[in-house]
């Protein structure tokens, strides 16, 4: 297993299959238009699968498909089938759910085993206002279709923002329970497209737990989960579980085994990294698997990144990037490097 300078293994890879999205969430992709990755630079399914195989051979056997919106990539089940033939320990996808009802069956049949759906609110009017979409019902239908297709452990991702949806924590837990799903509350992060980010809008893990304890009573930590998983899990008195990803107030860089591959084959070793490693160039200029393994191993063994922890020490913290900086290098966007 390949380890970095802090002894963190190369354990999981998030693959962004497209930088396009059909939502315009204010905390991620607030602009109408973007500088998109050139079409010819987008990796083919064969190229993605080859890189995934090379990564898996170095220990990255947990793969998550993301984007942008991964279901906008035409014929995604074909890529899923190619990836599920590899020696992986986990193959998952994060989606906004708009197109999930249509594709859930085919994805499950192709070998996808876990799906996470982003659901920030139970109120359609809030989704209309915050993500510029009238398709709230499609997201709920997507969650139900995933369960019906056989996805056993559907997760819901909710980015919690003060004054926006922080009054819905309990209701989202109830909704998830009703759907046989589990919700993960994500602290609002200052990454990529979050150009309007302020500390005041962040609802910390501690505050979320205090608020939920007021409604439900004492909350216990769930012990024994994978220590490299981003979410810490909790249990309500009635046994219902949920998770919190405290990446802003209590980052978990020390156990971070995640890296990210953009749709154009740029590999980022940290969500906050300024630059990535170009894997498309060697891939397309005939590098052997052994040569690709060498490039990846060299970069990972030199990895020192602790991006989220370093952000903690920034005085008067604001958004990481302004829109001009994002336009100058679209790979800085969350939707390009993959959330």
How near is the Cβ of 61 to ligand SAM at its closest, in Å? Answer: 21
d(CA 178, CA 250): 30
Query: Minimal distance in Å, beta carbon 71 to ligand SAM?
Result: 8
Say if CB 180 and CB 150 are below 8 A apart: no
Site string for ligand SAM, 16-35 (x = CB under 6 A): -----x-----xx-------
User: Judged by CB under 6 A, does residue 230 bind ligand SAM?
Assistant: no
Cα–Cα distance measured from residue 324 to residue 180, given in angstroms and rounded to the nearest whole number: 42
**Does the protein bind ligand SAM through residue 112 (CB under 6 A)?**
no
- List binders of ligand SAM among 256-295 (CB under 6 A): none
Question: Is residue 67 within the footprint of ligand SAM (CB under 6 A)?
Answer: yes
From the list 242, 21, 245, 26, the residue with the least C-alpha distance to 126 is 26
* From 18, 121, 157, 336, residue interacting with ligand SAM (rule: CB under 6 A): 157
Contact status: 66 vs ligand SAM (CB under 6 A): yes
Asked if residue 209 lies in contact with residue 160, where contact means CB atoms within 8 angstroms, the answer is no
d(CA 300, CA 282): 17
249-250-251 Cα angle (round to 5) = 110
To the nearest whole angstrom, how small is the minimum distance from the Cβ of residue 334 to ligand SAM? 5
Query: Cβ 195 to ligand SAM, closest distance in Å?
Result: 10
Euclidean distance between CA atoms 204 and 187, whole angstroms: 6
Sheet architecture: strand order including 90-95: 220-221, 232-235, 241-245, 182-187, 155-160, 114-118, 90-95, 62-66, 12-16, 258-261, 266-268, 277-278
Closer residue to ligand SAM in complex, CB, 299/308: 308
CB of 48 to ligand SAM, least distance (A): 16
Output 13 or 54, the one with its CB closest to ligand SAM: 13
Phi and psi dihedrals of 232, rounded to 5? -95, 135
The reply to whether 65 sits near ligand SAM by the rule CB under 6 A is no
Among 49, 156, 173, 186, binds ligand SAM (CB under 6 A): 186
Site string for ligand SAM, 70-109 (x = CB under 6 A): ------------------------xxx-------------
Contact between 69 and ligand SAM per CB under 6 A = yes
Q: How many residues bind ligand SAM (CB under 6 A)?
A: 20
- Give me the phi and psi of 224, to 5 degrees please: 90, 10
Residue nearest to ligand SAM (CB): 339
Which of residues 243, 307, 330, 339 is near ligand SAM by CB under 6 A? 339
151 binds ligand SAM (CB under 6 A): no
Nearest to 301 by CA among 274, 327, 269: 269
Query: Per rule CB under 6 A, is residue 308 in the interface with ligand SAM?
Result: no
CB of 284 to ligand SAM, least distance (A): 26
Q: Which of 185, 188, 242, 272 binds ligand SAM (CB under 6 A)?
A: 188
Among 110, 159, 244, 308, binds ligand SAM (CB under 6 A): 159
Which residues sit at the interface with ligand SAM, rule CB under 6 A? 21, 27-28, 66-67, 69, 94-96, 118, 157, 159, 186, 188-189, 191, 194, 334-335, 339
């Amino acid at each position: 297993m390949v380890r970095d300078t802090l002894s963190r293994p190369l354990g999981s890879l998030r693959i962004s299959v497209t930088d396009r999205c059909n939502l315009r969430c204010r905390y991620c992709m607030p602009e109408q238009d973007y500088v998109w990755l050139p079409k010819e630079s987008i990796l083919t399914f064969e190229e993605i699968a080859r890189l995934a195989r090379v990564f898996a051979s170095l220990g990255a056997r947990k793969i998550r498909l993301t984007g942008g919106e991964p279901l906008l990539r035409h014929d995604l089940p074909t890529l899923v089938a190619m990836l599920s033939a590899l020696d992986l320990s986990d193959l998952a996808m994060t989606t906004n759910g708009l197109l999930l009802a249509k594709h859930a069956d085919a994805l499950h049949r192709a070998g996808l085993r876990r799906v996470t759906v982003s659901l920030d609110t139970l109120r359609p009017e809030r989704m209309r206002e915050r993500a510029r979409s009238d398709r709230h019902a499609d997201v709920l239908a997507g969650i139900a279709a995933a369960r019906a297709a056989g996805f056993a452990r559907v997760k819901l991702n909710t980015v919690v923002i003060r004054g926006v949806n922080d009054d819905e924590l309990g209701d989202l837990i109830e909704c998830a329970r009703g759907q046989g799903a589990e919700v993960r509350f994500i602290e609002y992060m200052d990454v990529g497209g979050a150009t309007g980010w302020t500390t005041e809008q962040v609802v910390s893990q501690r505050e979320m737990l205090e608020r939920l304890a007021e409604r439900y009573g004492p909350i216990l930590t769930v012990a024994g989960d994978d220590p490299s998983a981003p979410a810490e899990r909790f249990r309500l008195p009635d046994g219902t579980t949920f998770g919190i990803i405290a990446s802003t107030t209590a980052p978990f860089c020390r156990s971070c085994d995640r890296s990210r591959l953009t749709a154009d084959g740029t590999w980022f070793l940290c969500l906050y990294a300024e630059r990535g490693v170009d894997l498309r160039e060697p891939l397309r200029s005939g590098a052997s698997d052994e040569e690709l393994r060498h490039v990846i191993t060299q970069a990972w063994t030199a990895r020192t990144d602790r991006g989220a922890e370093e952000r903690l020490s920034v005085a008067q913290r604001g958004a990481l990037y302004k829109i001009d900086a994002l336009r100058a290098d679209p790979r800085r966007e969350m939707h390009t490097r993959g959330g």
